[in-house]
Amino acid sequence: MTEIELTPLLPEIALLILGCLVLMVDLFTTDREKQSCYLVTQLGLIGIAIYLATHLPIKAFDYYLDTFRVDIFSQLLKIALIIISTLAVVYGRVFIRGRKFLRGEFYALVIFAVLGMCILVSGGHLLTLYLGLELLSLTMYAMIAMERGNSIGSEAAVKYFITGAIASGFILYGISLIYGITGQLGLTAIAEAIAVTEHPLLVSFAMIFIVAGVAFKLGLVPFHMWLPDVYQGSPTAITTFIASAPKIAVFGLTVRLLVETFSDLTEAWQPLILVAGVLSIAIGNLVAIAQTDLKRLLAYSGIAHMGYMILGIYAGGSVGHSAAMYYVITYALMTTAGFGLIIFLSRESYIYETLDEIKGLGRKNPWYGLMMSFVMLSMAGIPPFIGFWPKLEIFRSLVLNGYWQLAVFAVIFSVVGLFYYLRVIKLIYFDAPEHEFQFVRSRSIRFAITFNCLALLLFGLVPDTIYQFCLDAFT
Amino acid sequence: MDTTITNQVPWLSLLIWFPVIGGAFLLFSVGKSKQKLSQWLALIISLVTLFFCIPLYMQFDPSTHALQFVERSVWFESINVNYHLGVDGFSLPLIILTSFIGVIVTIAGWRNIEHRVNMYMAAFLLLTGLMNGVFAAADTILFYVFWEAMLIPMFLVIGIWGGPNRVYATIKFFLYTFIGSVLMLVALIYLGIKADSFVIQDLQILPVDMSTQHLIFWAFLIAFAVKIPMWPVHTWLPDAHVEAPTGGSVVLAAIMLKMGAYGFLRFSLPIVPDASLYWSETLLVLAIIAIVYIGFVAIVQRDMKKLIAYSSIAHMGFVVMGIFLVFSLMSNTKTDAAIIATQGAYFQMISHGFISGAMFLCIGVLYDRMHSRQISDYGGVANVMPKFAGFFMLFSMANAGLPGTSGFVGEFMVILAAFQVSPWLSISAGTTLVLAAAYTLWMYRRVMFGEVESKRVAVLNDLSAREIFILLSLAVVVLLFGIYPQPILELTHSSIEYLLKCGIQSKLTDGGICTL
């Protein structure tokens, strides 16, 4: 036994130290704005992202008795989710400062959630995966409940906790069955054991529980009920976070389990995610039409988006998987921009924003009206915005694998989706303002929103940049 | 493939990006209050864009069907999508038309747009650039990107500066066109995967079996039929036209409708020739319905803009008819008649661009003064606006297809070719000459002639110098092409010949490599 090599774990160790450091800084700082915590968090996260980007592994490798897997896929997902998290922190800070519950714990919780996500995407072992998932979920329960005086927030936290616990229970039950059948917990070992198993039906049974748990976390129909309530009830700062980066991490989990571990059971899980994906696209898009609350609208559109994403995994092959990865990363970028704009528009007296409140935004503040339209057009998949390209890739992967009927279904529902996105643009530009807008006064959020929304256009003009990474992850 | 990469000035890129970047500049750096500045800047940008067409026209070689001014660079390498531009006889006249109309709408919006002027001007500049992109794209995905992106400024133009029911009209417009185009996208992806290339020319020579051709044909048809628009998917057009500001109506009628027909020529016919042949008779029937039925619908309209909108649908019916006549003609080896049919259809596209644009501008002139489009609110306008009456008369006659105007040439050629297929087809198409005269001239009589009964009409001012300039430039073009249609016919001749002899050759039998 040689000495234990710690380099592959360095980013995770750094995150752990960073989280503790932020807690310490919080303890000794007297600044009410918690400026120092904020700076430490952001610099730390960016530093770790840079470290990851400069130390991309050449080939996949399993460490620590095959419990921890480092490959290009995991490292790229980590970079993406850290960048998205830093954006979410910029937006979130402004929101909670305005609501007077700004505490150092917010930053620490974000960092621990990021740590959980990093472990999740690097898990090479069912227990590591579960550990990462639980770390992520627990920090999020705490974050949602952070605004103590807000009963809606507490309700959302309880809802999220109960449904999340059920989902975790499902996954854990599936894991225990798998362990019982194969005697293995390492993903590679399980994949090998499944290939020669004498109980394929039992393995499929266990796998169904795991798929259900993952669908819960992604918010796919029929496990989507929690999502709109939680998005709406949580403080917008937290919604921004839970709607974006965790999707990337859970996507990582999905690929690790379905594509890498259960590859021999593809025929068994394909119908499951097909039904989930088709229903998510249909129900997400249709129900979104009826929403009057911007956060709920984005929640239902998120359900639909995850439906499109999962169709990429359904289509399979390196094109399908990279398309799904491309989709989830760009979705996270769009959704942070969307919620960031809601934060920017939130006057302090309001807990959340209804659709009517953005009436006439384009007239009162043309720049941010335009930015909001960018987000909506991008989500609708109108070129030249970035949202078009991952959709194109999903359709291409479907057609490539012979599922052109599915592609037709998906594009028709993207027309339904367009309808409610256009309605938001209609409110921004065509309706007269009903009240004076009181934007949040913060230079950093203005800068971040502009950067985030312009990125939607610029990455749309040079679509290859992100997609190239997604292709690398699956070759 | 005889596409060559030339190291000349990238005129096509300039035609696309100069107005787009100019529009973006106008949007962000010119304040809302600086009305005059944004107007002049917009005029200069659109004029420069029009000037870019001059070298394009001068250096264009009409003797070949090959793409010219080709620009090609890698764009989305992983999926083999290129920034690939080029023009042939089908796209060049439309690009010139687009740039010309771009200048016209800028001047037309000079007085009547009062709020958010920089945004209005920017939207039209963006539109001009993106529409040039649609016609110049030689890569299907690039084509689709322009095709969709163009909807955004148009959506905003109708929605922000439109009439009372503008929100309904503009959302209907966007959704209708979008649902058509997404199906086309799936077809394009399918073809792209099969050909392992998204270049339009590669798709044109790709063999496709019959059952697939049917599906692809319908996917294309829905996209293009909505755009043209053909009966029965035309209902968005009257709404959009009525609610749009004058400039929006002009662009819609003059250019956007042409994209559907351009799509038939560029995509449907060469890519799925056998399905096009199979369905050509159905398309002819739809075209006849558009010409005759919509002609009757136009007669009963009380709103002038709606009337012209319906007449646009009827006139575009001729374009569809001309394009789909070629199958019957070619199968009877009447190549000359087929060439006449296609040329007529194409000529009708260009000529209708000018005439319908002019008609909407004339109605805009009246609307600016009276704020009404109802025919019954007018009467006797000719007494107070004699100059306007002259122009309006000329364009009404052109709309009715009077010989000597460009409106006559295209329709006449299509009717002539239709006679070779069946006299009945020709006769039913010919009813348009009666119907168009009926609805246009009856409208003209009710609006312009008679006694001045309304007090508001009595105080109308005649055309200003600016309005005279716009209408005069359109009148010159309408008359010029009416008397001397040769330039357009020459530009398109080789492309049409190639399309008929090689493009629509059956893909089911191996005909070998087609050469002219």
Q: Would the pLDDT of A440 be above 90?
A: no
* Structure confidence by residue, pLDDT tens digits, B88-109: 888 999 999 999 999 999 888 8
CA distance B358 to chain A (A): 28
Q: Which of A382, A400, A458, A471 to mutate to test the interface with B (most CBs of B within 10 A)?
A: A382
Nearest Cα residue in chain A from B182:
A411
- Spatial distance between the Cα atoms of B215 and B210, rounded to a whole number of angstroms: 9
How far is it, in rounded angstroms, from Cα B175 to Cα B167? 12
Instruction: Write out the two tokens for B267.
Output: 């995509």
* Residues in B touching A383 (Cβ below 8 Å): 144-145, 148-149
At B174, phi and psi to the nearest 5?
-65, -45
| Segment A148-164 mean pLDDT | 86
Cβ contact A395–B166 (<8 Å): no
Would you call the peptide bond into A384 cis, given omega within 30 degrees of 0 as the criterion? yes
Kindly give the pairing relationship between strand B81-87 and strand B68-76: antiparallel
Question: Is residue B2's pLDDT more than 50?
Answer: no
Within 10 Å of residue B48's Cβ, how many Cβ atoms?
15
Inter-residue contact A310 to A277 (CB < 8 Å): yes
Q: Is the pLDDT of residue B3 over 50?
A: no
The confidence band for B112, taking pLDDT boundaries of 50, 70 and 90, is confident
- Smallest Cβ–Cβ distance between A411 and the set B75, B160, B182 belongs to B182
- Does the beta carbon of A412 lie under 8 angstroms from any beta carbon of chain B? yes
Which band of pLDDT confidence, cut at 50, 70 and 90, is reported for residue B516?
low
**Subunit contact B144:A383, Cβ cutoff 8 A:** yes
pLDDT digits (tens, 9 = 90+) for B234-246: 888 888 888 888 8
Q: Reply yes or no on whether the pLDDT at A166 is more than 60.
A: yes
Q: Are the CB atoms for B429 and B291 separated by under 8 Å?
A: yes
Residues of chain B neighbouring A473 (CB-CB closer than 8 A): none
Dihedral angle of Cα A301, A306, A312, A316, to the nearest 10 degrees: -160
The structure tokens listed for B483 are 């008397």
Percent of chain B predicted with pLDDT > 70: 97
Q: How confident is the model at residue A409 (pLDDT cuts 50, 70, 90)?
A: very high
Residue A63's H or E segment, with its range, is strand A61-63
**pLDDT at residue A19, as a whole number:** 93
> What is the C-alpha separation between B409 and B411, in angstroms, rounded?
6
- pLDDT (0 to 100) of residue B205: 82
Residue bearing tokens 């309904």: B168
Q: In sequence order, what are the residues at sequence separation of 6 or more whose Cβ sits closer than 8 angstroms to the Cβ of residue B354?
A: B97, B254, B406, B474, B477, B478, B481
Residue whose token pair is 């229903």: A279
The sign of the torsion formed by the CA atoms of B440, B442, B445, B446 equals negative
A78: number of CA atoms within 13 Å, CB side? Answer: 36
Tell me whether residues B186 and A396 touch, CB distance under 8 A.
no
Judged by DSSP in three states, A69 sits in strand
DSSP 3-state of B86: strand
Closest approach of B325 to chain A, Cα-based (Å): 31
Does B185 sit within 8 Å of A395, measured CB to CB?
yes
Question: By the CB < 8 Å criterion, does A471 face chain B?
Answer: yes
- Check if the beta carbon of residue A370 is closer than 8 Å to that of residue B152: no
Share of chain B above pLDDT 90, in %: 18
Chain B contact for A468, CB < 8 A? yes
Contact between chains at A426 and B171 (C-beta distance less than 8 A): yes
pLDDT single digits (tens) B429-467 = 888 888 888 888 888 888 888 888 777 777 778 888 888
Quick one: pLDDT at residue B197? 86
Backbone angles phi, psi at A125, to 5 degrees: -150, 140
Residue A168 predicted with pLDDT over 50: yes
Per-residue model confidence as pLDDT tens digits over A68-102: 889 889 999 999 999 999 999 999 888 888 777 76
Q: How far is B330 from chain A (nearest CA, A)?
A: 33
What is the structure's pLDDT at B510? 65
Average model confidence (pLDDT) across chain B: 86
Residue A418's closest chain B neighbor by CA? Answer: B175
Q: How far is C-alpha B418 from the chain's CA centre?
A: 22
Mean pLDDT calculated for residue range B158-172: 87
* Chain B residues inside the 8 Å CB shell of A361: none
Is some CB atom of chain A closer than 8 A to the CB atom of B183? Answer: yes
What is the band of A303 on the pLDDT scale with cuts at 50, 70, 90? very high
Asked if residue A144 lies in contact with residue A157, where contact means CB atoms within 8 angstroms, the answer is yes
Closest-CA residue of B relative to A471 is B78
Interface residue of A395, A427, A468 to substitute, partner B, most B CBs within 10 Å: A395
- Cα→Cα distances A100→A93, A95, A143, A155, A441, Å: 10, 9, 15, 20, 15
Given an 8 Å threshold on Cβ–Cβ distance, is A395 in contact with B144? Answer: no
CA distance B230 to B320: 8
CB contact under 8 A, A426 and B167: yes
Residue B160 and residue A429: Cβ atoms within 8 Å? yes
Name the residue facing A395 among B160, B174, B189 (closest C-beta). Answer: B189
Mutate to test the interface with A, among B26, B33, B77, B79 (most CBs of A within 10 A): B79
Instruction: State both tokens at B163.
Output: 């009439």
CA angle, residues A394, A195, A261, in degrees to nearest 5:
45
Q: Dump the DSSP string for B87-115.
A: E-TTTHHHHHHHHHHHHHHHHHTTTT--S
The more confident residue out of B506 and B239 is B239
Q: Inspect the interface and report whether the beta carbons of A382 and B185 lie closer than 8 Å.
A: no
Specify the pLDDT at position B162.
81
| B515 — pLDDT class (breaks 50, 70, 90) | low
B174 at A interface, C-beta within 8 A: yes
Q: How confident is the model at residue B1, as a pLDDT?
A: 36
Residue ranges of A 165-224 with Cβ closer than 8 A to chain B = none
- Per-residue pLDDT of A317-367, as tens digits, reads 888 999 999 999 999 999 999 999 988 887 666 655 678 888 888 888 888
Residue of A408, A422, A463 with shortest CB distance to B183? A408
Query: Comparing B472 with B381, which gets the higher pLDDT?
Result: B472
Q: Which two tokens stand for residue A97?
A: 């400062």
Q: Do A430 and B160 touch (CB under 8 A)?
A: yes
Q: Is the pLDDT of residue A395 over 90?
A: yes
- B434 and chain A: CB distance < 8 Å anywhere? no
The reply to whether residue A396 touches residue B159, judged by beta carbons under 8 angstroms, is no
Beta bridge partners of A68: A63, A123
What residues of chain B lie within 8 A of the CB of A426, using their CB? 159, 167, 171
**How far does A372 lie from chain B, in Å, by closest CA?**
14
B212 to chain A: closest CA residue:
A404
Question: With 70 as the cut, is the pLDDT of residue B145 above it?
Answer: yes
How large is the angle between the packed helices B166-195 and B140-149, nearest 10 degrees? 170
Chain B residues within an 8 Å CB radius of A467: 76, 78-79
Contacts A–B by Cβ distance under 8 A: 85
Q: Pick the residue from chain A with its C-alpha nearest to B194.
A: A400
* Mutate which: A372, A399, A457, A470, vs B, most B CBs within 10 A: A399
Name the H helices within B196-209.
200-204
* B21 at A interface, C-beta within 8 A: no
Residue-wise pLDDT for B186-199, tens only, equals 999 999 988 888 88
**Residues of A in Cβ contact (< 8 Å) with B137:** none
Dist CA A73 CA A325 (whole Å): 9
Q: What is the pLDDT of residue A348?
A: 66
What residues of A are in contact with residue B139 (Cβ under 8 Å)?
Answer: none
Task: Give the angle A286-A287-A292 at the CA atoms, nearest 5°.
Answer: 125
Residues in chain A closer than 8 A to B174 (CB atoms):
418, 422
- In this prediction the ipTM stands at 0.89
Mean pLDDT of B171-194: 90
Does the beta carbon of B77 lie under 8 angstroms from any beta carbon of chain A? yes
How is B248-291 classified by DSSP, letter by letter? HHHHIIIIIHHHHHHHIIIIIHHHSHHHHHHHHHHHHHHHHHHH
In this predicted structure, what is the pLDDT of residue A301? 94
- How wide is the angle at C-alpha A275 spanned by C-alphas A271 and A276, nearest 5°? 115
Write out A314-380 in H/E/C secondary structure: HHCHHHHHHHHHHHHHHHHHHHHHHHHHHHHHCCCCCCCCEHHHHCCHHHHCHHHHHHHHHHHHHHH
Q: What is the pLDDT of residues B333-368, one digit of tens each?
A: 788 888 888 999 999 999 999 999 999 999 888 888
Q: Which of A71, A175, A197 is nearest to A123 (CA)?
A: A71
**Closest CA of chain A from B30, distance in Å:** 13
Residue A382 in contact with partner chain B when CB distance is under 8 A: yes
Amino acid making up residue A389 = W
Tell me if B121 sits within 8 A of B109, measured CB to CB. yes
- Collect all residues of chain A within an 8 Å Cβ-Cβ radius of residue B151: 382
List the single residue in A411, A418, A468 with the smallest CB-CB distance to B186: A411
Please tell me which residue, B511 or B476, carries the higher pLDDT value: B476
Q: Minimal Cα–Cα distance from A389 to chain B, Å?
A: 10
Residue B72 pairs in a beta bridge with B84
Q: Is the pLDDT of residue A274 over 80?
A: yes
Q: How confident is the model at residue A458 (pLDDT cuts 50, 70, 90)?
A: very high
Would you call A392 an interface residue with chain B, using a CB distance cutoff of 8 Å? yes
Are B430 and B415 a contacting pair, CB within 8 Å? Answer: yes
Q: Sort out which chain A residues have CB atoms less than 8 A from B170's CB and list them.
A: 430
Distance CA A19, CA A267 (A): 42
User: How many angstroms separate the first and last alpha carbons of chain A?
Assistant: 32
Tokens 């019982």 belong to residue: A180
- Report the 10 Å Cβ neighbour count for B102: 27
Q: Do B152 and A395 touch (CB under 8 A)?
A: no
8-state DSSP, A416: H
Q: Where are the domains of chain A?
A: 7-473
